[in-house]
Amino acid sequence: MSAEQGYEIRVDGHLDDHWSGWLGELRMVRNGDGTTTVSVPAGDQAQLHGVLAGLRDIGAVILERIDDPALRDEAVSRAKSFLGYGTRPDADALAPGLRAPALSLALAVEGARFFDALVERFRTTVSVTERGDLLRAIGSARDGKLRERALELVFDPAVRKNEVLVLLGAQLARRETRADAFAFLVSRWEPLVAKLGPSTAGSLASLAAYACDPAEAASVEARLAPLADDVPGGPSFLATGLARARDCAARVERERAALSGSPSP
């Protein structure tokens, strides 16, 4: 959609109606594939930036934005300036609410060298919010080799225990990377538990919440249950994650039924 027509932002999952008012009474369409499209009026880039910041604040994962090339180029340019990628660093180039989306977009455009720049910046910054944004951008990698590097980064000493789930969650939040991320979670369970330690390792099982599909949730449960049983709090975290996954799947099914005009079960 062009700037003259307005902007559309597609996010993972179905946003409840009350978020429309919170975001400024915007039009929201819950799609049959389990995503939500949020429409922003034409000619109001300030509102667009505010909506992007608001979506980040409520934890929504932005999958793609259909916008004009000028805005896309501006976001990439600002992301480069923020990191000092080919230029002097400018800490004010990106507002906090725009960092993760803009850095993710720049990574998709620039590739491996920008990934390296993100990791380098992450290792040197002490800001908690900036570290989270950088991890979400790193975790947005879709290229096969970069996806592998993003997942393996959880074992880097620079990644703190409380940041492991942020990085894994960024890969699990995207449909195109979810299966590999779950496979990584299962295959690297023991070193992940060792990284987090016995007091917090059970939270790994809560990542089952990303399985927003009945078949996927059943598969994840079968693979994670034996692993979670051996970790303090693991079964409880797994049960909570699976409940969230099933709620998500049920919402998707209701929306699909509504779109097709048939009653949901």
Question: What pLDDT digit, counting tens, does each position of 193-232 carry?
Answer: 999 998 999 999 999 998 888 899 999 999 999 999 999 9
pLDDT higher for 200 or 251?
A: 200
The identity of residue 56, as a single letter, is R
pTM score: 0.77
Q: What does the pLDDT read at residue 153?
A: 98
Burial of 24 (0-12, 13-18, 19+ CB in 10 A): middle
Give the count of beta carbons closer than 10 Å to the beta carbon of residue 215: 9
Q: How many CA atoms lie within 13 A of 206 on its CB side?
A: 13
Average pLDDT, rounded, for the chain = 84
Tell me which H or E stretch contains 89. Answer: none
Q: How far is CA 155 from CA 21, 43, 151, 180, 195, in A?
A: 41, 44, 8, 17, 7
For range 42-67, the mean pLDDT: 63
User: Among the listed ranges 25-39, 118-132, 175-189, 228-242, which one has the minimum average pLDDT value?
Assistant: 25-39
pLDDT in tens, 92-115: 998 776 788 789 889 989 999 999
Q: What is the mean pLDDT of residues 47-51?
A: 70
DSSP character for 35? E
Q: Which domains does the chain have, with CATH numbers?
A: 1-66 (3.30.70.1150), 68-173 (no CATH), 188-260 (no CATH)
35: tokens are 């995503």
More confident residue, 204 or 247: 204
Q: Residue 205 in contact with residue 231, Cβ under 8 Å? A: yes
Tokens describing residue 213: 């599909």
Point out the least confidently predicted range of 62-76, 103-117, 181-195: 62-76
Reported as a single tens digit per residue, the pLDDT across 136-182 is 999 989 888 999 999 999 999 999 999 999 999 989 887 788 999 99
How much is the pLDDT for 66?
A: 46
Q: What is the pLDDT of residue 39?
A: 81
* Cα 87 from chain centre: 28
